[in-house]
């Protein structure tokens, strides 16, 4: 679970940073959204390995976030 928790925290931090850059109209938002999508995918995969209900929910949320980040990066 240590890896899962670490990825969760990294993913949340990147998502927050991407949202902040988008909110100020940064030219760098797209690049960070691409990185965020990659991190969300990794987080989804790791959380999906665990049988806990909260891990399954996290995995689905990260998968959805990755899709939205890709759209924002385009």
pTM: predicted TM-score of the whole model, two decimal places = 0.86
pLDDT at 42: 93
pLDDT at 65: 93
Residues 28 and 19: beta-carbon distance below 8 Å: no
* Residue 49 exposed, middle or buried by CB count within 10 Å (0-12, 13-18, 19+): exposed
Tens-digit pLDDT profile for the chain (74 aa)? Answer: 888 899 999 999 999 999 999 999 999 999 999 999 999 999 999 999 999 999 999 999 999 999 999 998 88
The C-alpha atoms of residue 43 and residue 4 are separated, in whole angstroms, by 7
Residue at token pair 């902040």: 20
The C-alpha atoms of residue 31 and residue 48 are separated, in whole angstroms, by 26
The C-alpha atoms of residue 56 and residue 62 are separated, in whole angstroms, by 10
């Amino acid at each position: 679970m240590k890896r899962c928790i670490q990825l969760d925290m990294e993913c949340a931090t990147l998502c927050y940073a991407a949202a902040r850059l988008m909110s100020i109209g940064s030219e760098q938002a797209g690049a960070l959204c691409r990185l965020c999508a990659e991190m969300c995918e990794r987080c989804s995969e790791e959380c999906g390995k665990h049988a806990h209900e909260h891990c399954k929910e996290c995995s689905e949320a990260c998968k959805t976030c990755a899709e939205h980040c890709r759209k924002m990066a385009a």
